[in-house]
Protein backbone atom coordinates (compact mmCIF):
# COMPACT_ATOMS: atom_id res chain seq x y z
CA UNK A 1 0.00 0.00 0.00
CA UNK A 2 1.28 3.47 -0.89
CA UNK A 3 0.39 7.00 0.25
CA UNK A 4 0.14 9.68 -2.45
CA UNK A 5 2.38 12.72 -1.82
CA UNK A 6 1.58 15.61 -4.15
CA UNK A 7 4.53 17.37 -5.69
CA UNK A 8 7.06 14.81 -4.43
CA UNK A 9 8.23 11.29 -5.03
CA UNK A 10 5.76 8.71 -3.72
CA UNK A 11 7.28 7.17 -0.56
CA UNK A 12 6.31 3.89 0.97
CA UNK A 13 4.76 3.65 4.41
CA UNK A 14 7.58 1.33 5.34
CA UNK A 15 9.97 4.32 5.51
CA UNK A 16 10.06 5.17 9.26
CA UNK A 17 11.91 8.47 8.76
CA UNK A 18 9.26 9.88 6.43
CA UNK A 19 6.43 8.78 8.72
CA UNK A 20 8.11 10.43 11.72
CA UNK A 21 8.67 13.63 9.74
CA UNK A 22 5.00 13.71 8.73
CA UNK A 23 3.82 13.23 12.31
CA UNK A 24 6.18 15.91 13.62
CA UNK A 25 4.99 18.39 10.96
CA UNK A 26 1.34 17.83 11.88
CA UNK A 27 2.08 18.21 15.59
CA UNK A 28 4.07 21.40 15.05
CA UNK A 29 1.30 22.93 12.92
CA UNK A 30 -1.31 22.08 15.56
CA UNK A 31 0.91 23.29 18.40
CA UNK A 32 1.71 26.63 16.78
CA UNK A 33 -1.99 27.47 16.51
CA UNK A 34 -2.33 27.00 20.29
CA UNK A 35 0.73 29.04 21.31
CA UNK A 36 0.63 31.83 23.88
CA UNK A 37 0.26 35.34 22.48
CA UNK A 38 0.90 38.70 24.16
CA UNK A 39 -0.66 41.78 22.55
CA UNK A 40 -0.30 45.53 23.15
CA UNK A 41 -3.10 46.47 20.75
CA UNK A 42 -3.28 47.57 17.14
CA UNK A 43 -1.30 50.79 17.77
CA UNK A 44 1.94 49.84 19.58
CA UNK A 45 2.99 53.38 20.51
CA UNK A 46 1.74 56.46 22.35
CA UNK A 47 2.68 60.13 22.49
CA UNK A 48 2.08 61.56 25.97
CA UNK A 49 2.66 64.89 27.69
CA UNK A 50 5.41 65.23 30.26
CA UNK A 51 3.92 64.95 33.77
CA UNK A 52 0.80 63.07 32.66
CA UNK A 53 -0.33 59.57 33.63
CA UNK A 54 -0.55 56.88 30.94
CA UNK A 55 -1.55 53.25 30.68
CA UNK A 56 0.59 50.72 28.83
CA UNK A 57 -1.82 48.05 27.52
CA UNK A 58 -1.13 44.32 27.33
CA UNK A 59 -3.34 41.24 27.13
CA UNK A 60 -2.56 37.56 26.73
CA UNK A 61 -4.40 34.73 24.95
CA UNK A 62 -4.04 30.96 24.74
CA UNK A 63 -6.23 28.42 22.99
CA UNK A 64 -5.68 25.71 25.61
CA UNK A 65 -5.71 27.93 28.70
CA UNK A 66 -3.02 28.87 31.21
CA UNK A 67 -1.46 27.47 34.36
CA UNK A 68 1.19 29.31 36.38
CA UNK A 69 1.56 31.85 33.60
CA UNK A 70 4.60 34.01 34.29
CA UNK A 71 4.62 37.56 32.90
CA UNK A 72 6.66 40.70 33.31
CA UNK A 73 7.12 44.19 31.93
CA UNK A 74 10.61 45.32 30.92
CA UNK A 75 11.99 48.73 30.00
CA UNK A 76 14.76 49.20 27.46
CA UNK A 77 17.11 51.61 29.21
CA UNK A 78 19.73 52.45 26.55
CA UNK A 79 20.06 48.81 25.52
CA UNK A 80 19.74 47.36 29.03
CA UNK A 81 16.45 45.57 29.75
CA UNK A 82 15.26 46.50 33.24
CA UNK A 83 12.24 44.83 34.82
CA UNK A 84 9.34 47.09 35.69
CA UNK A 85 7.13 44.45 37.34
CA UNK A 86 6.51 40.70 37.34
CA UNK A 87 4.11 38.08 38.65
CA UNK A 88 2.68 34.59 38.13
CA UNK A 89 -0.97 33.92 37.33
CA UNK A 90 -1.90 30.59 38.91
CA UNK A 91 -5.02 30.00 36.80
CA UNK A 92 -7.56 31.74 34.61
CA UNK A 93 -9.52 34.35 36.58
CA UNK A 94 -7.15 34.40 39.57
CA UNK A 95 -5.80 37.87 40.36
CA UNK A 96 -1.99 37.85 40.57
CA UNK A 97 0.16 39.40 43.28
CA UNK A 98 2.41 41.70 41.29
CA UNK A 99 5.91 42.75 42.35
CA UNK A 100 6.66 46.35 41.33
CA UNK A 101 10.32 47.18 40.60
CA UNK A 102 10.08 50.74 39.33
CA UNK A 103 8.78 53.95 40.88
CA UNK A 104 5.44 55.45 39.86
CA UNK A 105 4.22 52.15 38.40
CA UNK A 106 0.87 50.52 39.20
CA UNK A 107 -0.55 47.21 37.98
CA UNK A 108 -4.08 47.79 36.67
CA UNK A 109 -4.64 44.54 34.80
CA UNK A 110 -7.73 42.42 35.34
CA UNK A 111 -7.01 38.73 34.90
CA UNK A 112 -10.70 38.06 34.23
CA UNK A 113 -10.20 39.76 30.85
CA UNK A 114 -6.62 38.43 30.36
CA UNK A 115 -5.41 41.97 31.05
CA UNK A 116 -1.92 42.60 32.44
CA UNK A 117 -1.66 46.34 31.73
CA UNK A 118 0.28 48.80 33.88
CA UNK A 119 -0.08 52.48 34.74
CA UNK A 120 2.77 55.02 34.76
CA UNK A 121 2.20 58.02 37.04
CA UNK A 122 3.65 61.51 36.42
CA UNK A 123 5.85 60.42 33.55
CA UNK A 124 9.13 62.17 32.78
CA UNK A 125 11.35 62.23 29.72
CA UNK A 126 13.39 59.40 31.28
CA UNK A 127 10.28 57.21 31.11
CA UNK A 128 10.16 57.47 27.34
CA UNK A 129 11.27 54.44 25.35
CA UNK A 130 10.33 50.84 24.62
CA UNK A 131 8.42 48.67 27.09
CA UNK A 132 8.13 44.92 26.51
CA UNK A 133 5.29 42.76 27.82
CA UNK A 134 6.56 39.17 28.17
CA UNK A 135 4.77 35.95 29.08
CA UNK A 136 5.57 32.24 29.38
CA UNK A 137 2.98 29.46 29.82
CA UNK A 138 4.12 26.13 31.38
CA UNK A 139 0.86 24.51 30.24
CA UNK A 140 2.05 24.92 26.64
CA UNK A 141 5.43 23.36 27.40
CA UNK A 142 6.76 26.80 28.37
CA UNK A 143 5.73 28.52 25.16
CA UNK A 144 6.60 32.21 25.44
CA UNK A 145 5.79 35.39 23.55
CA UNK A 146 6.40 39.12 23.90
CA UNK A 147 5.07 42.40 22.51
CA UNK A 148 6.70 45.84 22.52
CA UNK A 149 5.04 49.19 23.20
CA UNK A 150 6.80 52.53 22.66
CA UNK A 151 6.11 55.55 24.87
CA UNK A 152 7.06 58.98 23.49
CA UNK A 153 7.19 61.78 26.08
CA UNK A 154 6.86 65.34 24.76
CA UNK A 155 6.67 68.90 26.12
CA UNK A 156 3.68 69.77 24.01
CA UNK A 157 1.32 67.63 22.00
CA UNK A 158 1.51 68.36 18.31
CA UNK A 159 -1.52 70.06 16.82
CA UNK A 160 -3.04 68.19 13.95
CA UNK A 161 -3.22 70.11 10.67
CA UNK A 162 -6.78 69.68 9.46
CA UNK A 163 -6.39 71.85 6.36
CA UNK A 164 -6.42 68.93 3.95
CA UNK A 165 -9.36 67.34 5.76
CA UNK A 166 -11.31 70.61 5.58
CA UNK A 167 -10.56 71.00 1.86
CA UNK A 168 -11.68 67.44 1.13
CA UNK A 169 -14.82 67.84 3.25
CA UNK A 170 -15.65 71.15 1.54
CA UNK A 171 -15.15 69.64 -1.91
CA UNK A 172 -17.33 66.65 -1.09
CA UNK A 173 -19.98 68.88 0.47
CA UNK A 174 -19.96 71.17 -2.55
CA UNK A 175 -20.28 68.24 -4.93
CA UNK A 176 -23.24 66.88 -2.95
CA UNK A 177 -24.91 70.30 -2.88
CA UNK A 178 -24.38 70.68 -6.64
CA UNK A 179 -25.85 67.26 -7.28
CA UNK A 180 -28.88 67.99 -5.11
CA UNK A 181 -29.39 71.34 -6.89
CA UNK A 182 -29.21 69.62 -10.26
CA UNK A 183 -31.77 67.00 -9.19
CA UNK A 184 -34.13 69.69 -7.88
CA UNK A 185 -33.79 71.69 -11.10
CA UNK A 186 -34.39 68.55 -13.16
CA UNK A 187 -37.53 67.66 -11.18
CA UNK A 188 -38.84 71.23 -11.43
CA UNK A 189 -38.25 71.29 -15.20
CA UNK A 190 -40.05 67.96 -15.65
CA UNK A 191 -42.94 69.26 -13.54
CA UNK A 192 -43.26 72.44 -15.62
CA UNK A 193 -43.10 70.46 -18.88
CA UNK A 194 -45.80 68.06 -17.68
CA UNK A 195 -48.07 70.99 -16.78
CA UNK A 196 -47.49 72.61 -20.18
CA UNK A 197 -48.27 69.32 -21.90
CA UNK A 198 -51.53 68.99 -19.96
CA UNK A 199 -52.47 72.56 -20.89
CA UNK A 200 -51.74 71.90 -24.57
CA UNK A 201 -53.96 68.82 -24.49
CA UNK A 202 -56.82 70.86 -22.96
CA UNK A 203 -56.39 73.52 -25.65
CA UNK A 204 -56.52 70.88 -28.40
CA UNK A 205 -59.71 69.37 -26.99
CA UNK A 206 -61.38 72.78 -26.66
CA UNK A 207 -60.30 73.79 -30.16
CA UNK A 208 -61.68 70.56 -31.60
CA UNK A 209 -65.08 71.20 -30.00
CA UNK A 210 -65.28 74.71 -31.42
CA UNK A 211 -64.44 73.48 -34.94
CA UNK A 212 -67.16 70.84 -34.83
CA UNK A 213 -69.71 73.46 -33.78
CA UNK A 214 -68.84 75.80 -36.60
CA UNK A 215 -68.97 73.04 -39.24
CA UNK A 216 -72.40 71.81 -38.12
CA UNK A 217 -71.23 68.29 -37.48
CA UNK A 218 -73.16 65.75 -35.51
CA UNK A 219 -73.08 66.55 -31.82
CA UNK A 220 -72.52 70.24 -32.51
CA UNK A 221 -74.81 73.14 -31.72
CA UNK A 222 -75.78 73.45 -35.40
CA UNK A 223 -77.10 69.94 -35.47
CA UNK A 224 -79.36 70.54 -32.49
CA UNK A 225 -81.47 73.35 -34.06
CA UNK A 226 -85.21 72.48 -34.00
CA UNK A 227 -86.97 71.64 -37.27
CA UNK A 228 -89.34 74.49 -38.36
CA UNK A 229 -93.08 73.64 -38.32
CA UNK A 230 -95.15 73.59 -41.56
CA UNK A 231 -97.88 76.21 -41.88
Residue 91 covered by a domain: yes
Cα→Cα distances 214→172, 188, 204, 221, Å = 63, 39, 16, 8
Domain assignment of residue 187, yes or no: yes
Q: Count of domains in the chain?
A: 2
> Same domain for 107 and 173?
no
Q: In terms of domains, do 43 and 127 share one?
A: yes
Q: Please give the span between the terminal C-alpha atoms of the chain, in angstroms, as a whole number.
A: 131
What CATH number did the domain enclosing 68 receive? 2.60.40.10
Range of the domain at 147: 37-154
**Cα-based distances in Å from 106 to 35, 117, 120:** 28, 9, 7
Residue 190 has a pLDDT of 85
pTM to 2 decimal places: 0.57
Asked whether residue 41 is domain-assigned, the answer is yes
One domain for residues 166 and 133:
no
pLDDT per residue, tens digit, the chain (231 aa), is 444 444 444 445 456 666 555 564 555 444 444 589 999 999 999 999 999 999 999 999 998 999 999 999 999 999 999 999 999 999 988 999 999 999 999 999 988 889 999 999 999 999 999 999 999 999 998 999 999 999 999 998 776 666 777 788 878 888 898 888 888 888 888 888 887 877 777 766 666 665 555 555 554 444 555 666 655
Amino acid sequence: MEVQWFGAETPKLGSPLRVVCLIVSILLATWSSQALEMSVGKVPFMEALNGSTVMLPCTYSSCIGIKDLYFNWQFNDNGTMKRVCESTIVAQGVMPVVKIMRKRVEFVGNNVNNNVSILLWNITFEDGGQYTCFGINPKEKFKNHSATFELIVVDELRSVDNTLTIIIASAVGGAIALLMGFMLLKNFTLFVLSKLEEKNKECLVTSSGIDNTENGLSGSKAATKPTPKKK
